[in-house]
């Protein structure tokens, strides 16, 4: 824990100088995106009103719809996605907040009402959107019988009947945190099921893979923005299903969080998420008896395992919709076992210019692997031990700056760690304190009292002080090995969603 603390007090050079030049360009780009998005809304508003009066195939309406389709399609020349999102009374386009003035406030009112009426949070368009689809959508929304308030599920059933391939909607997250957690866990398990489908699928049809994966990434990102602690907590759930599946989802969640902290934009994060999600696809082609062999691998077996990056890249090549697959996915599949000192495998590939995404996944992959029990792994590291071990390999195995940001993100005691307090109580780290000076003072869920009797205790904040003495009520003494104390961390996180 001390190594972690010392390193984090060093100057972190990542955030400042280099970013300044990029800012100006980004601002200009965002202004253009906002103008385009408002223009689309304006046209959408007019088409909506026209659709109420006229029948489908009306020429005037068709012209309007064609213009909107074209504008949306244009976005895909430079952007990976096009979506409107309503969050806490603000409207966003591709994660950029749209600002409305006095003259166009009616547009905001119109779209937010249409969203709220149906409990929709996100309306997303995908590359390949056709005039027909947009026309269907506009008629669906403007129909008189669809104008009253309706539950999302009910509306979604109608929406699905239209068979939209390039338009998707998402439900508004409930404001209550409990429901948000349910949402996060739903996405977590959904992605495991999704990945399982891909792994077991004989036909290599890339389309459903990419559309669903993209949507999952959007949901992960929304949850990371709102409920990161809980999603990190879920990564404690190991071996829910076959290891590779669970592992891929964990690596994806942690990579998205790390990418966000490194300043990646939303569309870059979606690509990072897909790449991380698919990093071990090649393991499908490794015989299971080698993958789970309890004893040490011999030379031949090791060489077979080391082929999974190449197999993964080959599998990705087979995806039909190859041009919508982010190119970074190939880098990550091939490079996630590269080391900073240019060792690692595949040995035959020259390890120059390793992609940033591969360096990110290298770290999250390693962390998740050594904190998971496997038949061949003699020692499972606690989360704190894992961070310390990784810091010993800084600059050798891992990129120094990215690793420091990762350690900072996980905190000195990552979510899910078991900790002993100076009161004698034992707790599970529930939420990291956002202020780095309070990194060793997270929120902790008490699971034993000071006599070590198991309790379903409250969540306490380690920054709380006694008013009279100004002394902290509780302080962490050390982190404990959950196995030694027979504590099943996953049970605790699962209990929150049942
Ligand atoms: Fe791997
Ligand atoms: Fe992996």
pLDDT at residue 201 greater than cutoff 80? no
Task: Tell me: pLDDT of 359 over 90.
Answer: yes
Ligand with an atom nearest the CA of residue 311: 1
What percentage of the chain exceeds 70 in pLDDT?
84
**Which pLDDT value is given to residue 139?**
86
Q: What is the pLDDT of residue 199?
A: 65
> HSE (CB half, 13 Å, CA atoms) of 462?
31
pLDDT of residue 55: 76
Termini Cα distance of the chain: 33
Task: Report the pLDDT value the prediction gives residue 13, as an integer from 0 to 100.
Answer: 38
How far is ligand 2, taken at its centre, from the CA of residue 369, in Å?
7
Sequence-distant (≥ 6) Cβ neighbours of residue 77 within 8 angstroms: none
Q: Which ligand has the shortest distance to the CA of 361? A: 2
Contacts of 244 (CB under 8 A, 6+ apart): 199, 280, 283, 291
CA nearest to 63, candidates 43, 49, 83: 43
Closest ligand relative to 244 C-alpha? 2
Q: How many angstroms separate the alpha carbon of residue 366 from the centre of ligand 1?
A: 9
Task: Please write the tens of the pLDDT for every residue from 400-449.
Answer: 999 999 998 888 778 888 899 999 999 999 888 767 677 788 899 999 99
Q: What is the CA radius of gyration of the chain?
A: 25
Tell me the DSSP string of 236-272: T---SSSHHHHHHHHHHHHHHHHHHHTT--HHHHHHH
For residue 342, report the distance from its CA to the centre of ligand 1, in Å.
16
Which ligand is located closest to the Cα atom of residue 247? 2
DSSP 328-381: HHHHHHHHTTB-TTS-BSSTTS--SS--HHHHHHHHHHHHHHHTS--TT-S-PP
Q: What is the pLDDT of residues 119-139, one digit of tens each?
A: 888 899 988 899 999 999 988
> Among residues 407, 408, 457, 466, which one has the least CA distance to residue 428?
457
Q: What is the mean pLDDT of residues 477-496?
A: 75
Give the pTM. Answer: 0.62
Give the residue, 18 or 149, on which the prediction is more confident.
149
- State in Å: Cα 309 to ligand 1 middle: 7
Q: What is the CATH number of domain 176-410?
A: 1.10.3210.10
Cβ distance 385 to 349 under 8 Å?
no
* Listed range (55-59, 94-98, 384-388) with the worst mean pLDDT: 55-59
Q: How confident is the model at residue 87 (pLDDT cuts 50, 70, 90)?
A: confident
Across the chain, what does the average pLDDT equal? 81
488 Cα: distance to centroid of ligand 1 (angstroms) = 26
Q: 210 C-alpha to center of ligand 2: Å? A: 20
User: Which residues crowd ion ligand 1, with CB under 5 Å?
Assistant: 280
Interval 253-299: pLDDT, tens: 899 999 988 989 888 998 899 899 889 988 888 888 888 888 888 99
Say what the pLDDT of residue 10 is. Answer: 38
User: 400 CA to middle of ligand 1, Å?
Assistant: 20
- What are the structural domain ranges in the chain? 17-171, 176-410, 418-495
Ligand nearest to the CA of 252: 2
Most confident of 59-68, 389-398, 437-446, 476-485: 389-398
295 φ, ψ (degrees, to nearest 5): -95, 175
- Residue 5: pLDDT band (50, 70, 90) is very low
Ligand nearest to the CA of 255: 2
CA of 362 to the centre of ligand 1 (A): 9
SS3 category, 397: coil
- Cα–ligand 2 centroid distance for 362 (angstroms): 8
> What share of the chain has pLDDT > 90, as a percent?
28
387 CA to middle of ligand 1, Å? 19
Ligand minimally distant from the alpha carbon of residue 333? 1
| Ligand 1 center to 403 CA (angstroms) | 18
Confidence band of 308 (pLDDT split at 50, 70, 90):
very high
Q: What is the pLDDT of residues 203-222, one digit of tens each?
A: 444 445 677 777 778 888 88
Which ligand gives the minimal distance to the CA of 254?
A: 2
Give residue 375's pLDDT: 74
Residues with CB under 5 A from ligand 2 (ion): 280, 365
More confident of the two residues 338 and 286:
338
Instruction: Summarize the confidence of residues 338-353 as an average pLDDT.
Output: 90
Q: Give the mean model confidence (pLDDT) for residues 375-381.
A: 78
User: What is the reported pLDDT for 460?
Assistant: 93
Predicted pLDDT of residue 179: 45
CA of 434 to the centre of ligand 1 (A): 31
The yes-or-no verdict on residue 9 having pLDDT over 70 is: no
Q: How far is Cα 476 from Cα 463, in angstroms, rounded to an integer? A: 11
- Lowest mean pLDDT: which of 8-12, 75-79, 361-365, 461-465? 8-12
């Amino acid at each position: 824990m001390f190594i972690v603390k010392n390193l984090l007090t060093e100057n972190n050079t990542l955030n400042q100088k280099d970013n300044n030049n990029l800012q100006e360009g980004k601002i200009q780009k965002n202004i253009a995106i906002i103008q385009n998005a408002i223009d689309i809304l304006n046209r959408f508003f007019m088409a909506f009103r026209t659709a109420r009066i006229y029948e489908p195939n009306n020429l005037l309406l068709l012209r309007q719809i064609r213009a909107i389709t074209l504008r949306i399609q244009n976005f895909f020349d430079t952007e990976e996605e096009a979506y409107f999102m309503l969050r806490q009374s603000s409207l966003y386009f591709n994660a950029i907040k749209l600002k409305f003035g006095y003259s166009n406030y009616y547009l905001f009112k119109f779209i937010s009402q249409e969203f709220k009426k149906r409990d929709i949070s996100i309306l997303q368009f995908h590359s390949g959107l056709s005039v027909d689809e947009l026309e269907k959508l506009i008629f669906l929304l403007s129909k008189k019988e669809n104008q009253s308030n309706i539950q999302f599920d009910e509306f979604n059933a109608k929406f699905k009947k239209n068979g939209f391939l390039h338009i998707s909607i998402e439900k508004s997250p409930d404001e209550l945190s409990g429901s948000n957690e349910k949402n996060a866990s739903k996405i977590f398990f959904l992605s495991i099921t999704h990945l399982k489908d891909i792994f077991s699928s004989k036909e290599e049809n890339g389309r459903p893979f990419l559309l669903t994966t993209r949507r999952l990434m959007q949901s992960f990102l929304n949850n990371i923005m709102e409920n990161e602690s809980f999603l990190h907590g879920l990564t404690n759930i190991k071996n829910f299903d076959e290891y590779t599946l669970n592992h891929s989802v964990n690596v994806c969640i942690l990579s998205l969080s790390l990418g966000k902290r490194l300043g990646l934009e939303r569309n870059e994060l979606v690509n990072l998420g897909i790449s991380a999600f698919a990093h071990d696809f090649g393991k499908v082609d490794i015989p299971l008896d080698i993958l789970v062999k309890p004893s040490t691998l011999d030379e031949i077996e090791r060489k077979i395992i080391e082929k999974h990056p190449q197999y993964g890249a080959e599998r990705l090549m087979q995806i039909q919709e190859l041009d919508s697959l982010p190119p970074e996915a190939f880098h990550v599949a091939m490079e996630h076992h590269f080391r900073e000192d240019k060792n690692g495998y595949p040995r035959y590939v020259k390890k120059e210019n390793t992609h940033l995404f591969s360096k990110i996944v290298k770290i999250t992959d390693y962390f998740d692997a050594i904190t998971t029990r496997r038949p061949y792994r003699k020692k499972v590291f606690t989360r704190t031990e894992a961070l310390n071990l990784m810091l010993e390999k800084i600059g050798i195995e891992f990129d120094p700056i990215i690793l420091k940001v990762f350690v900072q993100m996980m905190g000195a005691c990552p979510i899910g760690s078991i900790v002993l307090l100076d009161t004698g109580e034992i707790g599970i780290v529930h939420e990291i304190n956002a202020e780095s000076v309070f990194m060793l003072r997270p929120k902790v869920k008490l699971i034993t009292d000071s006599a070590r009797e198991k309790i379903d205790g409250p969540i306490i904040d380690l920054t709380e002080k006694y008013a009279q003495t100004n002394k902290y009520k509780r302080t962490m003494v050390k982190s404990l090995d959950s196995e030694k104390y027979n504590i099943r961390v996953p049970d605790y996180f699962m209990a929150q969603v049942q």
